[in-house]
A and B are shown apart, each in its own frame.
Chain A
Amino acid sequence: MVEITPGAAQPSRRLHDDYMALVGRRRLYSGILLALFVALMLGGFNLAADRNAGGFWSGLPSFFDFPRDVISEAWEARAELPGHLAEFLPALVETVNIAATATLVGALFAVLFALMSTRGLAPFPRLIPLVRRVMDVCRAVPEIVIALVLIYVLGGGPVPAMIAIAIHTVGALGKLFSEVSENASPKPVEGLQSVGANWTQRMAFGVLPQVLPNWFSYALLRFEINIRASAILGFVGAGGIGYELRNAISWGQGKFDQAAAVFILLFVTIVAVDQVSTLVRNRLIHGGAP
C-alpha cells in the first residue's frame, strides 16, 4: 500500500503537468494569434486611414451630415416626393429586370454546367475538371470588369450589365447547383437508365425533381444579390436606378430630394425581395414538398 502510492501518484502528476503544459501552450498560441490579429487590424486600420482622403476621426463627426442634408432637403420638398418616386420607377424596373434576366439566363446555363460537372451525372466525365475551372473563372471575375468592357464594345444600356451579372451567376450558381445534385440519390437515375432513357430524360425525370426545390432557393438568393449588383453597375454607367442615383448626388445641392427618392426605392425593393425570398425559401426547404 505504502509502496504503491508514490508509483501511482507519479504518472497522474505527470499527466496533470503535461496537461497543464499543453493548455498553457495552447493559451500562449491563442494569445499570440489574438495579439497578431489585433495588431493586424489596428495596423491595417491606420494604414487605410492614412491613405484615405479624409481621416477617420475627423470624418466621424460629419458622418450624419450627408444623411441629414438629404433628409432635411427631402423633407422640405416632401410634396414632390411622390412625383420623384414615380419618376424613378422605370429606372427601378430596369434595374430589377437586369437582375431578373441575369438570374434567369445565368441559372439556365448554371443547370447545364452543374450537371456537366457533377460526378456520376456528367455526360462527358473527362470534361468535369474543365467545366469546373470555367465556373471558377466566371465566379472570380468581378461584374464591373465585364460590364465596363462590354459597355465599350456594345454601347451603354442594360444589356452589358445583364451579361456581366449573368456570367458571374453561372459561376456562382453552377457550383452550388452541382453540390446539390452531387447529393441527389442515384437510384432514380439508374432506374431510368435500366429502361433505356437517354441522358436528357434521366436528368429531367431522375435528377430535377430531387434537386429543384434547393436549386430554386439558391436562385432566389442569387436574385437578391443580383439586384444589389445591378444597382452598383448602374452607378458606374450601365443604366437603371444606380445611374439616376449618381446623377442625383453628383449635382450637389438641390437634387437631394431626388436622391432621397432613389434611396427609398432601392431600400424598399431590397428589403421586400429579401423578405419574400426568405419566406419562399423557408417554405421550400422546411415546409415540405410543394
Chain B
Amino acid sequence: MTDAAMPRDLRAETAALFRRRRLVAFAIPAAILAYLVYIFFAFDVPGLAARADWQNGQTLVRDSYSHKIHVTRDNRDGEIEASIEGERRFVFDDRTLPDWIAPGEDTVIDLGHGGHEVRYLADGGVTYDIPGFGRVAMMPSPEGVAVDWPAGVDPADLPGWINAGDNRISFVTEAGRLSVTRNRAEVFRYFTGWELFFFTLDSPYYGLSPAEVLSRAVSGEAGAIVNDVWTNSMWRHGDVAWAIFETLLMAFLGTCGAAIVALPLAFLAARNFAPLAALRFAVRRLFDLFRGVDALIWTIVLSRAFGLGPLTGSLAILLTDTGSFGKLFSEALENVDDRQIEGVKSTGAHPVARYRFGVIPQVMPVLLSQVLYFLESNTRSATIIGAITGGGIGLLLTQAINTQKDWEEVTYYIVLVLLMVIVMDWLSGIVRRRLIKGGGDAE
C-alpha cells in the first residue's frame, strides 16, 4: 500500500519541483528584463540620441590618430601663416614650411587627392580647384564674399559639402577644408599620425630623417637630442614620465603603507591572537569604518587638510586599504596552523621569536600576494584618485580631456596608462607565481 503510494508522491513532488524551477527560470530573466526597462526610462535613453553630439565623436576619433595643418591668410593685411592645429606656438618658418605650400606672388597650396589645389591670389582672391567640379573663385571684401562658380553649377542648388552664405563660404572635401570669410581664408589639411611627437618646430632636429638624427647622435649631439625630445613643449614627455612615476608612487606608498599599518592591527582583530573580545570588536569596527568611508570621501577630507597633490592621493589609498588589508590579514591569521607555533614554543623561544618563526612564515606568502594584488589594482585607482587630488597621470588626462581638443594627447595618455597597468599586472603576476611556487623565498 505504501509502496504503491510512494512513487505517485515522488512523481507529484518532482513535478512540483520542476514547475517551481521552470517558474524561477522564467522569473529571473523576467525580473532582469523589467529592471532594464525601468533603467531604460530612468536613464532617459530615448533622449540620449538628442543629447549626443556625433560631430564631437567624429572630431574625437579623427583627432586621436591624425592632425591638421592650418594655412591662414588674414584678408586685411595679406599675412599668410601656416601652423599646426592653428596654435600660435607651432607656426612654421621658412626652414620648416612643408613643401606642399609654395609661397610667392600667389601662394599655392597643394591638397593632393588628385589635384585639389587652393591659391591665395596676390589681389586678395582665393581659388579652389576641385577635380570633377571645377574652379571656384572667391573674392572677399568688406561687403562679403563674392563667388564665381564654375560653368554648369547652379548656386541655388549646391552639393552638401559646400556651405555658402553672403559672408562665409566653406568646403569640406576628402582633401581637407577651406573656409573663406570677409576677414580671413583658412585651409585645413589632415595628416595621419601624431605631429611633432619627437621634435617641435623650434628644434634644429625637426624634419630630419631618423637616420640623420641617429648619425648626429653618434657624432656627439645625443644629449641635445634627448633634451629636445624630453622637453618637447607639445607632448611634454618629461612631465608625462614624471606623472606616471607619481601615479606609481601613490600606489606604492598607499599600498605598502596600508600593509604596514594593517599588520599589527590585524593581530588585534584575529580571534586566536587577541583574547580580549571587546578589543577585537573595536578593531574590526575600525576596519569597517576605514573601508566603508569610501576612497572618495577620504580624498575630500584629506585634501582639505593636506592640500592637493600626490601625498593626499597616497594617504587616501592608505586609509581605504588599511581597512581591506586589516580584514584580509586577520582572516589569514585566524587560519594559521597552531602546531608550528607550539613547535617553536617548545624550543623555549620567547614570544617575539614565536611570532617571527611560527606565524610570519605561514602567513607571509598569502599576505604578500594580497599586497601585490592590491598594488596592481591600486595603480588604476591612483590614476582615478589623481584626477581628484591633482597628481600624476590622472590629472594630465583629465586636463587634456577638459580642453576638449587635445584628443591626440588624450590617446597618448590612455595608451601609457594601459601599458602601465598591463606591465604592473604582468610583473605582479610573475612575483605572485614565484611566491606561491617557491614559498621558501618569501621572507
Contact = CB atoms under 8 A, between A and B. Distances in A.
A56 B387 CA distance: 20
Main DSSP-derived SS at the B contact region? helix
Which of A54, A140, A228 is most buried by chain B, counting CB atoms within 10 A of its CB?
Answer: A140
B170 interface: no
B281 to A, nearest CB: 15
Contacts of B16: none
Chain A binding surface, main DSSP class? helix
Contacts of B312: 52
Contacts of B417: 140-142, 145
B249 A144 contact: no
A274 B285 CA distance: 13
A153 B422 contact: no
The size class of the interface chain B forms with chain A is 35 or more
Given A45-B253, A154-B48, A66 B304 contact: yes
Contact of B306 (A55, A142, A271): A55
Q: Find the residue from B45, B288, B300, B425 having the highest chain A CB count within 10 A.
A: B300
Contacts of A52: 306-312, 391
A251 interface: no
Contact of B53 (A97, A155, A263): A155
A26 to B, nearest CB: 8
B83 interface: no
A153 B39 contact: no
B305 A59 contact: yes
Contact of B249 (A47, A63, A153): A47
A154 B305 contact: no
Nearest to A26: B443
B397 A145 contact: yes
Interface in A260-290: 263, 266-267, 270-271, 274
A37 B368 CA distance: 14
A100 B260 CA distance: 34
Interface centre among A144, A158, A274 (most CB of B within 10 A): A144
Interface string A148-173: 11001111111100100000000000
Nearest to B246: A51
Interface stretch (A7-15, A73-81, A189-197, A229-237): A229-237
Nearest to B410: A149
Contact of A48 (B52, B314, B387): B314
Interface in A44-74: 44-45, 47-49, 51-56, 59-60, 62-63, 65-67
Contact of B418 (A51, A54, A140): A140
B140 interface: no
Contacts of B384: 142-144, 232
B60 A152 contact: yes
A101 interface: yes
B51 interface: yes
Contact of A53 (B249, B260, B308, B394): B308
Given A140-B418, A144-B383, A263 B306 contact: no
Nearest to A153: B57
A66 B292 CA distance: 18
Contact of A148 (B56, B249, B388, B398): B398
A270 B295 CA distance: 11
A249 interface: yes
A206 interface: no
Given A44-B253, A52-B309, A142-B380, A228 B48 contact: no
Given A54-B306, A140-B425, A266-B297, A152 B401 contact: yes
B404 interface: yes
Given A97-B42, A104-B35, A141-B414, A236 B422 contact: no
B425 to A, nearest CB: 7
Nearest to A90: B42
B311 A236 contact: no
B32 interface: yes
> Shortest 7 CB-CB distances between A and B: which pairs?
A53-B307, A52-B309, A54-B307, A155-B51, A59-B306, A52-B311, A66-B304
